[in-house]
Amino acid sequence: MKEDFLHYVWRFQYFRKENLRTTGGEEVLVLHPGVHNRSDAGPDFSGARLRLGETEWVGSVELHLNASDWRRHQHQLDAKYNQVILHVVWEEDEEVFRQEGTPMPTLELKGRVALPLQALYQEMLWSEKTIPCAPQAPGVDAVYKSAMMDWALLERLEAKAEVVSERMDRSRQDWESTVYQTLAVGFGFKINQEGFLQLAQALPWPIVSRYRHNAEQLEALIFGQAGFLNELKTTTEPYLQKLAKEHQYLVHKHNLPSPLPKSAWNMLRLRPANFPAVRLGQFCGVLHRHAHLWSSLQACTFLPDYFEFFRQPPPLYWQQHYAPGKKAVQPFTSIGQESVLSLLINVVAPLFMAFSRRTGNVMYQDKAIALLESLPKENNKIMRLYAGLNFMHTSAADSQALLGLYQQYCEPRKCVHCTVGHWLMKQNLNPPHAAV
């Protein structure tokens, strides 16, 4: 058993209340269990209202599988736990005390929880199936699945938006720089995200913005700071020599940091279309086309607008080469459809969500969700598993919801926090002779 099951039982009061007493014999009446504290700091539930004996108390409730966990976690030395009015445990294996030395009232729940409820929890916790409730999930009403998917999608968007928000804090609240860095990370896709982020830090947005109208200078800055012009002293290609010279001039003029080392880029096991130089060229095309990145994204209304934002031609040289001096068999044009879809899911929607949270404008949250709902569904092993359990899967919004559900609930076996798991467990509450 894990402690989150005990939290679940207390939160929903899923235990037998007859003759409810502390281990010291004091009668207990739960008027309100309190509000679950999801952070790691302080007691588990705050604002609880309880009657212990003849006295009504308002305060916090702390939960542990074993009473000795109180001492093991050093709560008796932490002033935050002086406000605890009841210690709820599965089993009292020792008496515990507050900071000032007075005994802590303790409620033991062992023997008060329905055995079928415990059994289903243990079954899902230790299930060898990828989706722990797979045997029961097909029979769960679609409304519970839909509600959980809505929640999982919002959580996933919130998590991605938080990364954007932290990036903005590091950018001294410069939103346009934040958008630029976030786009850069997106163009790195899974393989070269870190390299693109380092590039965006080595080539700040104000410099890019100043030179974006001049395609050749922008190209020199992008490829020079990325480190692709570092080793061109012996090249015989006049164009690359020209770019390298322009880059050196701009580095000196603006006191730019050193270019990225070659080790910043991953080039192993990549198709030529995914080589960092190709992605840099495509990124360069987007930067050259849009004077104001954020306002251009805000202006997008329909899916073709978003595709037009991203599908800009790279500089001519990088249409014909996948690395300096390495000519491509077929020319590279603008970024492909699948790549644009990835950028819309992993860059644009989180930007809208982050902007919504920073400004309080819920319209941008709606815009993020509407964008995901307009995109085709993703297809992978996890998606197919959920589809086989009758979960809705018709758009990228559903795909992102299911990924969030899997990563945050199913994989870590947090079934008691899931609407589907909660519904299943409710079915096992009150059969006859359920608890011993």
- pLDDT at position 270: 82
Domain boundaries, the chain: 3-113, 114-170+337-436, 175-294+305-335
Q: Are 201 and 181 in contact (CB under 8 A)?
A: yes
- pLDDT at position 99: 85
Pairing of β 35-36 and β 45-52 = antiparallel
Average pLDDT over residues 352-377: 97
- pLDDT at position 432: 43
Q: Are 218 and 212 in contact (CB under 8 A)?
A: yes
- pLDDT at position 208: 98
pTM higher than 0.75: yes
Q: Which two tokens stand for residue 177?
A: 């720089």
- pLDDT at position 280: 97
Average pLDDT over residues 400-416: 96
Per-residue pLDDT tens digits for 137-178? 999 999 999 999 999 999 999 999 999 999 999 999 999 999
Choose between 198 and 432: higher pLDDT.
Answer: 198
Alpha carbon distance 424, 310 (integer Å): 45
HSE, CB side, 13 Å, CA atoms: give it for residue 415: 26
- pLDDT at position 233: 59
Alpha carbon distance 178, 162 (integer Å): 12
- Please give the single-letter amino acid code of residue 54: E
pLDDT value at 239 more than 70: yes
- pLDDT at position 232: 61
Sign, CA torsion 62/66/70/74: negative
Helices (H), 348-387: 349-359, 362-374, 381-387
- pLDDT at position 434: 44
Q: Are 409 and 152 in contact (CB under 8 A)?
A: yes
Alpha carbon distance 137, 130 (integer Å): 13
Choose between 44 and 100: higher pLDDT.
Answer: 44
Per-residue pLDDT tens digits for 74-94? 998 888 898 999 999 999 999
- pLDDT at position 234: 56
Average pLDDT over residues 55-71: 95
Residues 6+ away with beta carbon under 8 Å from 180: 200, 205, 208, 287, 293
Q: What totals of helices (H) and strands (E) does the chain contain, helices first?
A: 19, 8
Average pLDDT over residues 376-399: 95
pLDDT value at 433 more than 80: no
- Which secondary structure element, helix H or strand E, spans residue 286, and what is its range? helix 276-289
Question: Could you give the angle at the alpha carbon of 186 between the alpha carbons of 182 and 187, nearest 5°?
Answer: 120
